[in-house]
Amino acid sequence: MSGIRITGLGKALPDRIVTNDDMSRIVDTSDEWIRTRTGIRERRIARGNLPEALKNEQVPGAAQSAPERAETCTALAAEAARRALQDAGTKPPEIGLVIAATMSPDFFSPSVACSVQELLGLPSGIPAFDVNAACSGFVYAMTVANAMMQQMSIGCALVIGADAVTSLIDFTDRGTCVLFGDGAGAAVVRKDEGCSFAGILGAEGKRSALSIPVGGHMLMDGRDVFRFAVTVVPRVLEELEKETGRSLGDIDQIVLHQANDRIIEHIRRKLALPEEKFFRNLQHYGNTCAASIPVALTEMKEQGLLGPGTRIFCVGFGAGLAWGGLYLEFQ
C-alpha cells in the first residue's frame, strides 16, 4: 500500500432544494413512494436544469439583489475545489495535478479539470484531465491520482467529483428523475508515506443497465442496477479487507456511493453491521453521481467524524458497469 492523505475537503451544491412534494407536481409520484423506495427526501437541482414547472420560484433566504451564483458542473467543481484548498490551507501554486471525475461536463472540451485550473489560477504546466467512471468516478480519480503521485514527482493533487447530471435527466420519466441531484465535492491530496492508501477498480461493460446517449436522456433498468449494487459492494469490501489487512471491524466508517438507502440497508444487513457504521446524506441530495463520496466525506469532516487515526472504506458503483473501493486514513 502506498501513502497519500486527504488534507482538505470541500463541497458545493446548487441553492435550490427540490422536495419530493415538488417532484410530485411534475410527475406521477409521491413523497411516500420516493422515501420508502429510496430514502431520498429532497435533492438540489442546478438553476439551469430546473424543469419549467419548478422555475421562477424563490429560494428561501436567498438575497434577491445578489448576483446569481453560477451552478454549472464547472462552477460547482471550482467552488468545491476552492473550499477544499481553503480547508487544507493549501495555496494554488502547491498543486501539481488536477483530476475531475464527471459524466456530465458542460463542455466536451476543455475538461472540467482544465477549466478549474484556469478559474482557480492553478500552476500552468501541471497535468489536468477528467475521468468518466460515472458514480465510481471519485474512487477512480483518487486511485489514478495516487498512481501518478507515486510514479511522477507530484507532492500535492486536487481530486474533484462533480456532476450536474439533472441536465441529462428526462423530467417526464418518474423512474429516474426522482433519484438524482447535482453537486460537487473535492479533496486536496498529499503524498505521505506514513499514511496508507489502497484503491481497487473494476468494470464489466453493460450498457443496458444504465446509459446516457450523447444528446439524449438517461435510460436505466432500476432492478438490474439494484441487483448489481448489492452484489458488487460486499465483494469490493472483501477485496479491501484483503488488500489492507484490515477487517470491517477495524474500520470506523463505510462510505458507500449515496444512490439509495435501500441499497445501503440491504448491504448493511447482509454484513450484519451497525447502522452508525454507514454514513448517509442521500436523504438531502439524492444520487449526485461522482460528487456523492467527496460530498459525504466533506460532511463527515464537518461533523467531526474524521479525526486522527480514522480509517475509512469507500465504495463506488454505477453505470459502466463500473465499481471501485478506497481505503483512507486520516490524521
The catalytic residue positions are 135, 257, 287
Choosing from 3, 92, 202, 222, the residue that interacts with ligand COA (CB under 6 A) is 222
**157 closest CA partner among 81, 77, 87:** 81
Between the alpha carbon of residue 6 and those of residues 9, 146, 195, 241, 312, the distances in Å are: 8, 11, 10, 20, 12
**Footprint on residues 253-272 left by ligand COA (CB under 6 A):** 259-260
* Nearer to ligand COA among residue 143 and residue 288 (C-beta): 288
Choosing from 4, 12, 26, 38, the residue that interacts with ligand COA (CB under 6 A) is 38
Only one of the segments 5-13, 51-59, 170-178, 294-302 lies at the binding site for ligand COA (rule: CB under 6 A); that segment is: 170-178
Only one of the segments 26-34, 54-62, 92-100, 233-241 lies at the binding site for ligand COA (rule: CB under 6 A); that segment is: 26-34
C-alpha cell at 148: 501518478
Cα torsion angle, 54, 58, 64, 67, sign: negative
174 sits near ligand COA (criterion: CB under 6 A)? yes
Q: How many residues does the chain have?
A: 331
* Nearer to ligand COA among residue 180 and residue 279 (C-beta): 180
**Footprint on residues 126-145 left by ligand COA (CB under 6 A):** 135
C-alpha cell at 214: 450523447
* Nearer to ligand COA among residue 175 and residue 234 (C-beta): 175
Only one of the segments 34-42, 116-124, 273-281, 302-310 lies at the binding site for ligand COA (rule: CB under 6 A); that segment is: 34-42
User: How far apart are alpha carbons 230 and 234 in whole angstroms?
Assistant: 7
Torsion of CA 102, 106, 112, 118, to 10 degrees: -160
C-alpha cell at 58: 424563490
Residue at shortest CB range from ligand COA? 222
Cα torsion angle, 47, 48, 50, 51, sign: positive
**Footprint on residues 223-242 left by ligand COA (CB under 6 A):** 223, 225-226
Between the alpha carbon of residue 192 and those of residues 3, 6, 189, 317, the distances in Å are: 5, 10, 9, 27
Say if CB 72 and CB 112 are below 8 A apart: no
Name the helix (H) or strand (E) containing 86.
Answer: helix 73-88
User: How far apart are alpha carbons 285 and 259 in whole angstroms?
Assistant: 10
286 sits near ligand COA (criterion: CB under 6 A)? no
Site string for ligand COA, 76-115 (x = CB under 6 A): ----------------------------------------
Only one of the segments 1-9, 184-192, 197-205, 216-224 lies at the binding site for ligand COA (rule: CB under 6 A); that segment is: 216-224
- Please, what is the minimum distance in Å from the beta carbon of residue 65 to ligand COA? 37
In the complex, the residues that contact ligand COA under the rule CB under 6 A are 29, 33-34, 37-38, 135, 174-175, 178-179, 220, 222-223, 225-226, 259-260, 287, 318
